[in-house]
Amino acid sequence: MRKLILTVTVALLTSGVSVFAANNLTNNNVDEIVVVVTNDDFKEVSIKELPEAVTKAIQKDFSTATVLKAYVNASEQYKIEITADGAEGVVYIDKDGNWLKGTDIITAKEEGDVSEEKAE
């Protein structure tokens, strides 16, 4: 039994599983789930430095939103933290104003892999 518990614990710790915690441990009703995504490839930039296409897309699709912070990666993809109607969120967009899904984000590792393939 100890081996089973140890194996499960090691598997959970090494697999990068996200953990969600309720604010009040005595209350089993979860009112809010917080998902934290960390991507070290993005560097913070001034909101004023955002390309015009990005600014226009935000104004068009999130007209009531306020941009809190902006980040950019080496592929000129932007991570934008916004707040709208009291709710905060994160959206991703490229330099041309096209919205991105999480799977569309190019990380530094992937970018290096692509350039290595082109060199061959």
Structural domain boundaries enclosing 103: 2-119
Amino acid at 4: L
Domain total of the chain: 1
Question: DSSP letter string over 11-34?
Answer: HHHHTT------S-TT--------
Determine the Cα–Cα distance for residues 50 and 55; give it in Å rounded to an integer. Answer: 7
Which domain CATH number covers 58? 3.10.450.360
For residue 103, the model assigns a pLDDT of 73
With beta carbons less than 8 A apart as the criterion, state whether 71 and 45 touch.
yes
- From the list 117, 118, 112, the residue with the least C-alpha distance to 41 is 112
Sequence-distant (6+) residues with CB within 8 A of 38 are none
pLDDT digits (tens, 9 = 90+) for 78-106: 999 999 888 899 999 999 999 998 777 77
